[in-house]
Structures are given as structure tokens and as C-alpha cells.
């Protein structure tokens, strides 16, 4: 359980950097959902995001920290 908490703290730190620098994110969760998003709010239990492309463009959503399995900077191809 301690390793999971460390991972979540690392993800929160990364999210803070993305928010501060207006960096777009690419996230995959445990349900194999993909998020191409901007970070809105970094909560204690959730990450609040807004999709910037795709079917959910401009929709806001929250993701439970425990569900995030991949969290990277978005790179256009």
C-alpha cells in the first residue's frame, strides 16, 4: 500500500507541473479509457480535467488517482 501512495504522490507532483506550465496531458486509466486533456484542478482524491479533443471535447471529468495507470505529456504526432 505504501508503494501505491508514493506513486500517487508522484502523479500529483507531475500534475502540478503540468498545471503550472499549461502542459496538456495524456492519461490512461485502469478501465483502458484514454484522456487527451488539460488539467483543471488537483484534488486530494481526484484529478479534474477537461478534454481538448475527440468525442468528449470540452467536457469536464474527474479521475480517481488510484485509477491512473499512465500519465504523460501529450505529444502531437
d(CA 25, CA 40): 11
pTM to 2 decimal places: 0.92
Residue-wise pLDDT tens digits, 2-53: 898 999 999 999 999 999 999 999 999 999 999 999 999 999 999 999 999 9
d(CA 42, CA 1): 21
Amino acid at each position: 500500500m505504501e508503494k501505491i501512495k508514493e506513486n500517487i504522490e508522484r502523479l500529483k507532483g507531475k500534475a502540478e507541473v503540468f498545471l503550472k506550465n499549461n502542459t496538456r496531458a495524456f492519461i490512461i486509466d485502469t478501465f483502458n479509457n484514454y484522456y487527451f486533456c488539460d488539467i483543471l484542478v488537483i484534488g486530494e482524491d481526484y484529478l479534474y480535467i477537461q478534454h481538448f479533443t475527440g468525442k468528449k471535447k470540452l467536457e469536464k471529468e474527474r479521475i480517481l488517482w488510484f485509477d491512473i495507470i499512465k500519465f504523460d505529456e501529450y505529444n502531437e504526432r
